[in-house]
RNA sequence: AGGGGCGUAGCCAAGUCGGUAAGGCAACGGACUUUGACUCCGUCAUGCGUUGGUUCGAGUCCAGCCGCCCCUGCCA
């Protein structure tokens, strides 16, 4: 695999591994796994987990498995397993031949359950779901033991087999662990291990009508695969005693893999739970899981984010146990930093204002040479046509400019990037008083690269009218207008930022015809953009990945 | 309330034997600039939830208090 350059510095999980390696607990072996449930698309929070698990294996010369936690066929689909594999690969990680499914272990898990019954550690319970809930007790009161708790082993074995054989309707009985109904940890009050559920499984089809629960299948899957460090998120902390129970109870797996919990990623201006992301998709608030505004891996990819930037981000946010919300600006910083030296520059005018150079010959066209990236001259130069009629950005001209405005003003001068210094001689307006055209003169002595020493304060980008390529530019902004979209009681769906997508008919320099879907550029003075798959030869479409930092916008406030 | 966790700057986060608070993002000054970008320089915790205690010395040890998160799915 390509070895991602990781910024994972030390964290408490690596400290634990260092100690285990020092004591020889796992014989210097480090084996992690990334265990998604294939019931939705991966998001940037999963990227944190992927980078942690695969990155940790890389750091210690160990291995990381990809394992689908597919124990609930009513929610899982192959569409999701495919997208998950694509996303993990795109992020730059490789599971080699270690692609597993919890469903690979259905037979072993069933046998293990029978052993549990034989050992008197599990029983078939006929209580209804509602009754089980009542028997469970509350946070402060102990639960009551099920009347089926002391069923004879032989009867349990028989009933469990008949559950498997489909002799009972869905929900009629469950297999439960026999632990402690008085435990202060509710997860230990005889948790359900198997339920009857007639659902078509994406891999095992209709072979089974009983399916294991996560709390049972997960620790054993880890044990079967020889996982040493089983990393998961904080909400599973209270499940750890059950994890340990499942692995230890029959004494088969030593040393036991250790479950370690860390805080999941939260980001400002967006939501992260699969449930909420799904709601956005299903309610049509976004165009799909890969809508460029979504914090999904597929959304970020379509937006134009690079795997390098996402990995860098995951390395910078750290790994700890405190609940936290990371500033979205850090993610944006990471793409800018990645793309700055890599992305070729292009000039695009998003809101065109016509400029006519009155002293420039009518039919003359010059081919100007402009560097592709001032941060890296090895990226070379390109030829950009220049002529008498041009377009500049509307916001680069002001009739009554505020102080410190460095752009074009009546009678003022500005440099056209890579071309000449021009002076605004006349402002043409329409009947409503809108500025529709600027009549300017250019100074032939100031051609870029000619050695001219004349300086002006402002430089502005432009496109030549005769060669301008019409394109669509999609300007994306935060999915939600506030840092914490979940705050308050108003439904978060109704809070989607109405300006999160603004599509503009723009003009771009002709070099852009070469852009292929996924190509990334910096549109000078605007930001980083990538060609969207919607692009056609007739009309390229560009997504704004992120804007450039804009200190002028701050001054204006 | 029972159990399990967590509290270091606006945000994230180092801080391993107690020895006098890393780094990044953001922000704010300034230099440079044919991208108001990039880059560079500088500023940004006498303070580590809080109150006491131990100690020559406490973010680190002890006790109490406060706040926040998770757990009562036949979800993961």
Task: Indicate whether this model's pTM tops 0.90.
Answer: yes
State the average pLDDT over residues A77-93.
Answer: 98
**Is the torsion defined by CA of A307, A312, A317, A318 positive or negative?**
positive
Give the closest nucleotide to A550 (alpha carbon vs C1'): B36
Give the closest nucleotide to A11 (alpha carbon vs C1'): B14
Separation of A95 CA and B16 C1' (Å): 33
Grade residue A338 by pLDDT with cuts at 50, 70 and 90.
very high
Give the closest nucleotide to A461 (alpha carbon vs C1'): B35
Grade residue A487 by pLDDT with cuts at 50, 70 and 90.
confident
CB-strand contact A522/B, under 7 Å: yes
What tens digit of pLDDT does each residue of A461-476 get? 999 999 999 999 999 9
Looking at the predicted structure, is the pLDDT value of residue A449 above 80?
Answer: yes
Phi, psi (rounded to 5 degrees) for A75: -120, -5
Separation of A12 CA and B55 C1' (Å): 29
Note the strand B nucleotides within 7 A of protein beta carbons. Answer: 1-8, 10-16, 22-28, 34-39, 68-76
State the average pLDDT over residues A304-316.
Answer: 98
Cβ(A298)–Cβ(A87) below 8 Å: yes
| Residue A32 CB contacts under 8 Å (≥ 6 apart), including other chains | A53, A54, A56, A57, A62, A63, A64, A65, A227, A228, A229, A230, A231
Grade residue A451 by pLDDT with cuts at 50, 70 and 90.
confident
Residue A126 structure tokens: 């006929």
What tens digit of pLDDT does each residue of A359-407 get? 999 999 999 999 999 999 999 999 999 999 999 999 999 999 999 999 9
Looking at the predicted structure, is the pLDDT value of residue A326 above 90?
Answer: yes
Give the closest nucleotide to A327 (alpha carbon vs C1'): B11
Is A149 among the catalytic positions? no
CB-strand contact A342/B, under 7 Å: no
State the average pLDDT over residues A153-161.
Answer: 98
- DSSP-derived pairing of the beta strands A527-531 and A541-547: antiparallel
| Residue A251 CB contacts under 8 Å (≥ 6 apart), including other chains | none
Residue A80 structure tokens: 């999701």
- Of A60-64, A128-132, A450-454, minimum mean pLDDT range: A450-454
- First-to-last alpha carbon distance for chain A, in angstroms, is 48
Catalytic residue among A274, A342, A417, A423: A274
Element (DSSP H or E) covering residue A474: strand A469-476
State the average pLDDT over residues A241-256.
Answer: 97
Closest-CA residue to A248 (of A119, A59, A60, A429): A119
Closest-CA residue to A504 (of A321, A351, A398): A351
Cβ(A384)–Cβ(A358) below 8 Å: no
**What is the pLDDT at residue A452?**
84
Cβ(A62)–Cβ(A30) below 8 Å: yes
- Quickly count: other Cβ atoms within 10 Å of residue A513's Cβ: 11
State the average pLDDT over residues A314-338.
Answer: 97
Which string of DSSP letters, residue by residue, matches A331-360?
Answer: HHHHHHHHHTTTSPEE-EESSEEEEEETTS
Alpha-carbon gap, residue A517 to A535, rounded angstroms: 7
Mean pLDDT of chain A: 96
Give the closest nucleotide to A523 (alpha carbon vs C1'): B35
**What is the pLDDT at residue A158?**
98
**What is the pLDDT at residue A490?**
75
Alpha-carbon gap, residue A138 to A179, rounded angstroms: 17
Helix (H, G, I), strand (E, B) or coil at A367: strand
Element (DSSP H or E) covering residue A68: strand A63-68
- DSSP-derived pairing of the beta strands A381-386 and A352-357: unpaired
442-461 on A, CB < 7 Å from strand B: 446-450, 452, 455, 458-459, 461
Element (DSSP H or E) covering residue A463: strand A462-464
Cβ(A306)–Cβ(A47) below 8 Å: no
Separation of A236 CA and B76 C1' (Å): 10
**What is the pLDDT at residue A6?**
33
ipTM score for this prediction: 0.97
Alpha-carbon gap, residue A63 to A1, rounded angstroms: 12
What tens digit of pLDDT does each residue of A24-53 get? 999 999 999 999 999 999 999 999 999 999
| Residue A547 CB contacts under 8 Å (≥ 6 apart), including other chains | A526, A527
Grade residue A557 by pLDDT with cuts at 50, 70 and 90.
confident
Q: What angle do CA A39, A42, A43 make, to 5 degrees?
A: 135
Grade residue A345 by pLDDT with cuts at 50, 70 and 90.
very high
CB-strand contact A509/B, under 7 Å: no
- DSSP-derived pairing of the beta strands A389-393 and A258-262: unpaired
Is A264 among the catalytic positions? yes
Q: What is the CA radius of gyration of chain A?
A: 31
Q: What angle do CA A264, A268, A273 make, to 5 degrees?
A: 45
Looking at the predicted structure, is the pLDDT value of residue A1 above 60?
Answer: no
- DSSP-derived pairing of the beta strands A541-547 and A469-476: parallel
Separation of A443 CA and B40 C1' (Å): 33
Catalytic residue among A33, A37, A336, A544: A37
Looking at the predicted structure, is the pLDDT value of residue A9 above 70?
Answer: no
Cβ(A4)–Cβ(A93) below 8 Å: yes
CA A225 to chain centre: 28
Looking at the predicted structure, is the pLDDT value of residue A4 above 70?
Answer: no
Alpha-carbon gap, residue A389 to A362, rounded angstroms: 9
**Higher per-residue confidence, A145 vs A6:** A145
CB-strand contact A69/B, under 7 Å: yes
Closest-CA residue to A448 (of A427, A465, A466, A462): A462
Closest-CA residue to A199 (of A33, A22, A36, A77): A77
Length of chain A, in residues: 557
Is A351 among the catalytic positions? no
Q: How would you class A301 by CB atoms within 10 Å of its CB: exposed for 0-12, middle for 13-18, buried for 19 or more?
A: buried
The residue behind tokens 């559950």 is A163
**What is the pLDDT at residue A3?**
28
């Amino acid at each position: 695999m390509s070895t991602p350059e990781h910024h994972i510095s030390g964290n408490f999980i690596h400290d634990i591994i260092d100690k285990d390696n020092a004591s020889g607990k796992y014989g210097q072996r480090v084996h992690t796994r990334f265990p998604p449930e294939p019931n939705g698309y991966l998001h940037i929070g999963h990227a944190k987990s992927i980078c942690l698990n695969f990155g940790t294996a890389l750091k210690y010369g160990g291995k990381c498995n990809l394992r689908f936690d597919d124990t609930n066929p009513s929610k899982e689909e192959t569409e999701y397993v495919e997208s998950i594999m694509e996303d993990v690969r795109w992020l730059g990680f490789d599971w080699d031949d270690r692609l597993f499914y919890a469903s690979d272990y259905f037979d072993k898990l069933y046998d293990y359950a029978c052993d549990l019954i034989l050992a008197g550690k599990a029983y078939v319970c006929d209580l209804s779901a509602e009754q089980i809930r009542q028997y469970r007790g509350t946070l402060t009161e102990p639960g009551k033991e099920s009347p089926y708790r002391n069923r004879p082993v032989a009867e349990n074995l028989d009933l469990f087999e008949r559950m498997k054989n489909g002799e009972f309707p869905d929900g009629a009985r469950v297999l439960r662990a026999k632990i402690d109904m008085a435990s202060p940890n509710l997860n230990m009050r005889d948790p359900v291990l198997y339920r009857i559920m007639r659902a078509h499984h994406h891999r095992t089809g209709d072979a089974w009508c009983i399916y294991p629960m996560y709390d049972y299948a997960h620790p054993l899957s880890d044990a079967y695969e020889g996982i040493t460090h089983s990393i998961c998120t904080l909400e599973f902390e209270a499940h750890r005693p059950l994890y340990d129970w499942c692995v230890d109870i029959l004494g088969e797996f030593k040393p036991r893999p250790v479950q370690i919990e860390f805080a999941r990623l939260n980001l400002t201006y967006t939501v992260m739970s699969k449930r909420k992301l799904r709601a956005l998709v299903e309610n049509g608030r976004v165009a799909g899981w890969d809508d460029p505004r979504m914090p999904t891996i597929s959304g970020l990819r379509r937006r134009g984010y690079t795997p390098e930037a996402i990995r860098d981000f995951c390395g910078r946010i750290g790994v700890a146990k405190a609940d936290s919300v990371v500033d979205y600006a850090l993610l944006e910083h990471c793409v800018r930093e990645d793309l700055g030296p890599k992305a070729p520059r292009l000039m695009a005018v998003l809101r065109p204002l016509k400029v006519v150079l009155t002293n420039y010959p009518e039919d003359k066209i010059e081919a100007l040479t402009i560097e592709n990236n001032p941060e890296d001259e090895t990226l070379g130069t390109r030829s950009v046509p220049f002529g008498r009629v041009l377009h500049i950005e509307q916001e680069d001209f002001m009739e009554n400019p505020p102080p410190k405005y460095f752009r074009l003003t009546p009678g003022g001068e500005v440099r056209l990037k890579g071309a000449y210094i021009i002076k605004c001689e006349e402002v043409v307006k329409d009947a409503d008083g809108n500025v529709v055209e600027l009549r300017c003169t250019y100074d032939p002595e100031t051609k870029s690269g000619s050695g001219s020493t004349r300086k002006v304060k402002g430089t502005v980008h432009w496109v030549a009218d005769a060669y301008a390529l019409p394109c669509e530019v999609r300007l994306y902004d935060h999915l939600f207008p506030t840092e914490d979209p979940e705050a308050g009681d108003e439904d978060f769906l109704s809070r989607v930022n109405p300006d999160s997508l603004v599509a503009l008919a723009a003009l771009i320099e002709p070099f852009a015809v070469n852009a292929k879907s996924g190509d990334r550029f910096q549109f000078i003075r605007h930001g980083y953009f990538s060609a969207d798959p919607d692009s056609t030869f007739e009309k390229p479409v560009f997504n704004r990945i992120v804007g450039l930092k804009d200190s002028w916008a701050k001054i204006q406030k």
